Amino acid sequence: MEWRMTIVLTKEKEKIGTHVLVIGVGRYPFLLNGEGPPEKQFEYHGGMGQLTSPPRSALEIAQWFATKHKHPDDKPIRTLELLISGTPNTFMTSAGQMIAEPATMENIRKAIKRWRDYGNFQEQNLLIFYFCGHGVSTGNEQLLLAEDFGSDKDDPFRHAVNFSGLHIGMRDCKAKWQCYFLDACQTVSQTYLDQFGYEAQGESIIVRPVSSNLRNTEQPVLLACALGAKAYGEEGKASFFTQALLSAFKGAAAKDNGYGEWEINTAQLRGGLNAFLERMVERGYGKEQVARDDKLAKPFSLHALDGKPLIPVDVACGDRDRTEEISFECIHSGSVVRLSPVGGKLRIWEIELPPGEYDFRARHRSGEPPPPSRDGVTVHPPHQLVLFKCP
């Protein structure tokens, strides 16, 4: 059976829990190379076109929340809503296959209002907002572009969410804990500033009066990249930021709660995200992409790990070009636990390890004297870099 719908999951939504809204926009019919009628193409596209990463990114994040999320203070997922423009857009639920509704402005508006209403059920609720798609940033303001952005040439920004306005409007929501992930380019568009000036502001969606809820709300925002940089992804794969987020949830952003139990909190996330994003730079994916916070906010717990975290560990020669001449081994409690692969142009040996103390040995493939080993390396979140002085 197959449904076209937005709500993926809903369970006792009036009880304390977590409410997740995931939006992925890859198809933009009115932007560059869009499938809309040629005469309706938006002239001021600013180079923005079709994206392949957002649908997959949105699906992977939604899947993670549906199947892996576990809150340390028992805030199970109560609702999960998913909007996707582009493909893939099918989501498997226990009831069968579901096709996500497209992320048009109208659908986004309705979903955000529902999500706010769910949040209003309980003060201790946790709200998660995730957006992946085109974004336009001007200084401190972020605009998130819906699928139908550009369809109205006279007023293009009526199909964009003014995230800064939404964020401030959501301060009136009862849900105390709100976390926002923006996986979008933060590109400053001089084109838009010049062409639309002050009017390029999008729709805040939630406009509320001042209330007592203001003083209770914590609203950290994690942005995919520093202002002005572009969020990157590989064709047809989840974006780097989303991969980084999933890696952070696996362990790169974990913190020991004092009982040998590991939790992910909002403050640790940036370190975990950036550990992965730095890997992307080292792997050769071009420009530096850095996750950053957008608001000063008190940290809070998001997720509890079932076991030990898996921490990204990168092993290499100081001069990365020499790494392919070396084979590495990783030793824990006297036993070899990992061996670097043989052959290939390896610049960095990337592995994941549980926390602990490890010894690393290196051997020249040509039989030359090995560089000194690195013993007693502490592996702990967010990341460990093990460099050898290769002669």
Partner 1 sequence: MTTLALRILKQMHGPNVRLGAVADIVPVGTSREKPAPAFLRGLVLPIGDPGGPFEPLTVAVEPGRYLVQATLPSGEVLTEEIDATGPEMVSVNLVSEESPHEWLGKLQALGGVPSWRMRKARRSILGVAPVARPLDVHVLWFEAVTSKARINDWLKLSSTVSEQDLKLLFGSLKKTGRLKSVFANDDYEKFEIADIPAADAGGIPPVSLKALLGTENPSGRSRHYLALEDDTGIRGLAVLPLPWPYSNQNDSRAGQQMPVQIVLREPAPGSCFAESPVQPYISVDDPDVGALLGFLGRLDLQSAGSILVQAAQWLYEKVMNPLAAAAGGYILLAAGGLRGVESDEWKDWVKNLANWFEWLPDGSIQLAWLKLNSISPEDEAAVTQEKTIEAIVEEARELLLRALGAGVPLYSNGVRLLVDALTLVANHEEYRGKHETAEGNVTARALMLARWLSRRTDPSQPFTAIRI
Let me know if 235 is exposed, middle or buried by CB neighbors in 10 A (0-12, 13-18, 19+).
exposed
Closer CB to partner 1, 335 or 378, in the complex? 378
Determine which residue in the list 73, 155, 357, 375 makes contact with partner 1, applying CB under 8 A.
Answer: 357
Measured between alpha carbons, how far is residue 389 from residues 65, 77, 248, 317, 340 in Å? 42, 48, 29, 6, 17
Is 96 a binding residue for partner 1 by CB under 8 A? The answer is no
Pick from 332, 329, 327: nearest CA to 346? 327
Is 139 a binding residue for partner 1 by CB under 8 A? The answer is yes
Measured between alpha carbons, how far is residue 355 from residues 60, 112, 279, 309, 348 in Å? 26, 39, 19, 7, 20
Measured between alpha carbons, how far is residue 369 from residues 11, 269, 330, 344 in Å? 62, 41, 18, 21
The one segment of 20-28, 174-182, 252-260, 338-346 that binds partner 1 by CB under 8 A: 252-260
Closer CB to partner 1, 141 or 350, in the complex? 141
Determine which residue in the list 85, 164, 242, 243 makes contact with partner 1, applying CB under 8 A.
Answer: 164
C-beta of 25: minimal distance to partner 1 in Å?
20
DSSP letter for each residue of 161-229:
EEHHHHHHHGGGSS-SEEEEEEEE--B--HHHHHHHGGGTT-B-S------GGGGG-B--EEESSSTT-
Rounded to whole angstroms, how far apart are CA atoms 143 and 169? 15
The one segment of 35-43, 176-184, 273-281, 301-309 that binds partner 1 by CB under 8 A: 273-281
For the chain, report the end-to-end CA distance as a whole number of angstroms.
Answer: 62
Is 278 a binding residue for partner 1 by CB under 8 A? The answer is yes
C-beta of 268: minimal distance to partner 1 in Å?
8
Is 193 a binding residue for partner 1 by CB under 8 A? The answer is yes
The one segment of 99-107, 108-116, 160-168, 337-345 that binds partner 1 by CB under 8 A: 160-168
Is 333 a binding residue for partner 1 by CB under 8 A? The answer is no
Rounded to whole angstroms, how far apart are CA atoms 68 and 112? 23
The one segment of 2-10, 82-90, 101-109, 132-140 that binds partner 1 by CB under 8 A: 132-140
Is 37 a binding residue for partner 1 by CB under 8 A? The answer is no
Rounded to whole angstroms, how far apart are CA atoms 56 and 66? 15
Is 304 a binding residue for partner 1 by CB under 8 A? The answer is no
Closer CB to partner 1, 58 or 330, in the complex? 330
Kindly list the residues in this chain that would bind partner 1 in the complex (CB under 8 A).
138-141, 164-165, 168-169, 171, 187-188, 190, 193, 197-198, 201, 204, 207-212, 214-215, 226-230, 256, 258-261, 267, 270-271, 274, 278, 281-282, 284-288, 292-299, 320, 357, 376, 378, 380, 382-384
